[in-house]
Chains A and B, each alone.
Chain A
Amino acid sequence: MDVVINGERKQVTAGVTLLELLQELELDPRAVVVEHNRQIVRRPKLSDVTVAPGDAIELVHFVGGG
């Protein structure tokens, strides 16, 4: 199924949870913050939320800045 991750359309396994999605993308859940359809999903809840087609997911972290 298609979802939008960080503004890019991506194909991911149907019915995955957010935690499984991070694993699919080889991202450490402790190192990213997840926003799912504009709602922040806390780390302990990542395995409770299932991704649906067309969902908008933002994965952010800290980068250098002033």
Chain B
Amino acid sequence: MTTAVETTRDTLLDIGGRTFQSRLMVGTGKYPDMDTMVRAIEASGADVVTVAVRRVNLDRSKESSVLHFLDPKKIFLLANTAGCYTAADAIRYARLAREAGFNDFVKLEVIGDEETLLPDVAGLLEATKVLVQEGFKVLAYTNEDLVTALRLEDAGCAAVMPLASPIGSGLGLLNPFSVRTIKRRLHVPVIVDAGVGTASDACVTMEQGVDGILMNTAIAAAQDPVAMAHAMRMATIAGRAAFLAGRMPRREVAMPSSPTKGMLD
């Protein structure tokens, strides 16, 4: 199963001074049940999983925390600020997440529009500056705009996370050119976050040369999440391996694969 990585020389993914084995990161939301989630994470091979910060349910607190099902010693918990619509809210959620005591990484989201869940890049930059100042390792969820990505890197992000397409849409990588451009111009890792729908989307995304990919709904909302997690694992490895292998140039005309000489009269 892992032949592709074994035969390809690759470096470890390094984000903010921490290295990770897998280039696939997965979310923990929207699973039909916790057992499926745990088995899907296992099948994905991910060592980074995202979690959200929410109020404790005062009536049924013992059942609702995702930490009852995940071992933080084995899995790196990446808290997000999902659901925050202002820089101030995102900062507040990030501080609460860090206080949980696992790490100082945050997947920073400042959402600007309810229908598309596209990021508010002004708020994102503002929150990034504050959080970097406070020692956070910020992984900023952003759109596929190069200039915003450059500003986020300048502001001290540990990684920049352009979207493939809107969160939960499953539309795949809509703008490979922009994502490639961001990867080419940035020095910090580029992790594509959101929008993949199936394994080919993950593969094509990794073929752009990005450092990693983060997904949730594509796995959680599949008919068989565990099987899809496994497919995503292989697709991520395949896409990465193909990128490192270097694809052939595209041609507008055909070129025969068999010799043109030696044909019968």
Contact = CB atoms under 8 A, between A and B. Distances in A.
Interface of A: 5-8, 10, 25-27, 31-33, 35, 40, 42-43, 58-66
B96 A63 contact: no
Given A40-B99, A62-B67, A66-B82, A6 B37 contact: no
Contacts of A33: 53, 96-97, 99-100
Interface of B: 27-31, 37, 50-56, 58, 61, 64-67, 77, 79-80, 82, 95-97, 99-101, 167-168, 194, 214-217
Nearest to B55: A6
Given A40-B95, A62-B52, A65-B29, 13 more contacts: A6-B58, A25-B58, A26-B61, A31-B65, A40-B99, A61-B65, A62-B66, A63-B53, A64-B28, A64-B31, A64-B51, A66-B29, A66-B215
B71 to A, nearest CB: 13
Nearest to A33: B99
A29 B31 CA distance: 27
Contacts of B96: 33, 35, 40, 58, 60
Contacts of A31: 61, 65, 67
A17 B185 CA distance: 52
Question: Most chain-B CB neighbours within 10 Å: which of A6, A27, A35, A66?
Answer: A66
A8 B58 CA distance: 10
Given A5-B58, A32-B56, A66-B216, A61 B100 contact: yes
Contacts of A58: 55, 96
Contact of A62 (B61, B77, B168, B214): B77
Contacts of B100: 33, 61-62
**A-B interface, 9 closest residue pairs, ranked by CB to CB distance from nearest:** A65-B52, A66-B216, A66-B27, A64-B28, A62-B51, A64-B29, A6-B55, A33-B99, A59-B56
A63 B167 contact: no
B167 A66 contact: yes
A63 B58 contact: no
Nearest to B100: A33
A51 B202 CA distance: 50
Contacts of B217: 66
B99 A64 contact: no
A51 to B, nearest CB: 15
Given A31-B65, A66-B30, A60 B37 contact: no
A63 B66 contact: yes
